[in-house]
Amino acid sequence: MIEQAESAAGRAPDGTSTPGRPGRRRSEESRQAILTAAIELLGEVGYARLTVEGIAARAGTGKQTVYRWWPGKADVLLEAVTVHARQHIALPDTGDHAADLRTFLAATFAAATPPTTDALRALMAEAQVDPAFGDRFRQTLLHPRREALGTLVDRARTAGLLAPHLTTPTAVDLAFGALWYRLLGTRDPLDDDLAELLTRTLLQPPAAPSGDAPRM
């Protein structure tokens, strides 16, 4: 929403770009400083001790600047994690559906490292006790991630590679369910081995050409 407002502010009524104003640039710098400060402080003091005042002080801005853009600390972290996901998790489209799925899952797991993992756990917990924030959490982070993975699974399904007993939503549940279970429950690693295992679980090998003997 902030990015859309800033983009709109940079265009004239006829749709052409207008020269940048220093005020907008300073606002973007402040926004980035606040997002960085929130993640850094979370890793240092934990979610319970994280405050808007502390975030503002670390970012070198006033707390009213934070409140102008976000309702509270949870929403600051939510945007920070969402930006992190967009920057580090691409949606590959090489034509090799298994490789694309494996790459996406591996990138997703690689992006889930401290302090991002701390933020994800805190956000999931906050979403359970604050229904309004829970809606924002699902719309801002969970749904876009599900749609991205669902796109890859749909491509594999169209190519006849999705395991026949699975639907796209269930396949997405299995993949992200493993991520959240390890994040919140076991703390077992999110690594390339898990990405490979999930890919082999969700997809089936391509059918052998007619006349070829099946491999054992």
Judge whether residue 21 has pLDDT over 50: no
Higher pLDDT among residues 18 and 31, named by residue: 31
Rounded Cα distance between 81 and 87, Å, is 10
The answer to whether the beta carbons of residues 123 and 78 sit under 8 Å apart is yes
pLDDT at 205: 81
What are the distances in angstroms from CA 124 to CA 94, 121, 129, 178?
A: 33, 5, 9, 15
Judge whether residue 214 has pLDDT over 50: no
From the CA atom positions of the chain, what is the Rg in Å? 21
Range 75-87 average pLDDT: 97
Q: What is the pTM of this model?
A: 0.82
pLDDT at 209: 61
What are the distances in angstroms from CA 64 to CA 38, 76, 132?
A: 15, 13, 21
Task: Indicate left, alpha or beta for 98 from its phi (over 0: left) and psi (-120 to 50: alpha).
Answer: alpha
Highest mean pLDDT range out of 20-24, 133-137, 203-207? 133-137
Rounded Cα distance between 4 and 66, Å, is 18
